[in-house]
Amino acid sequence: MLKEFKNFIMTGNVIDFAVAVIMAGALGAVINGFVNHIAMPFVGYFAGGMNFADLHVAMDGNDYKTLAAAQEAGGAVIAYGAWINTIINLLIVGLVMFMIVRAYNKTKKPPEEAAPAGPSEVDLLTEIRDSLKK
């Protein structure tokens, strides 16, 4: 059983999958940083100086200036600005993955065209038979 497990782990698919998961985590961290520190300040600037991370609704009915202040008060808070950041993050991850797959597909060789089909074996035998009859 241990030998079977070793063979399973050492196959290319498992190793490739492990590398892909690690790379996806690293790529996710990079994209998350890009969204939070570069993209969202631009979006906020063009939206009139709004900080999306602070958008919230306090369920206790009070009006808090920041999300941190609302959370500090201890009441339930719907932080929909963080959700907007997550949606933008998803869109950017999707775009980056699309560009990576597109670039990868361009590096692959196009499939070779099949050689034109010649006469079948039956056709050749029929020709030989007809030639021998003459």
Q: What is the pLDDT of residues 48-57, one digit of tens each?
A: 877 777 888 8
Q: What is the pLDDT of residues 46-83, one digit of tens each?
A: 878 777 778 888 888 888 888 888 888 887 888 888 88
In CATH terms, the fold of domain 2-110 is 1.10.1200
pTM of the model: 0.57
> Could you tell me where the DSSP H helices lie in the chain?
2-9, 12-34, 40-46, 67-72, 80-107, 121-133
Contact between 90 and 32 under an 8 Å Cβ cutoff? The reply is no
Measured CA distances, 100 to 74, 106, 115 (Å): 44, 10, 33
Q: pLDDT class for 115, splitting at 50, 70, 90?
A: low
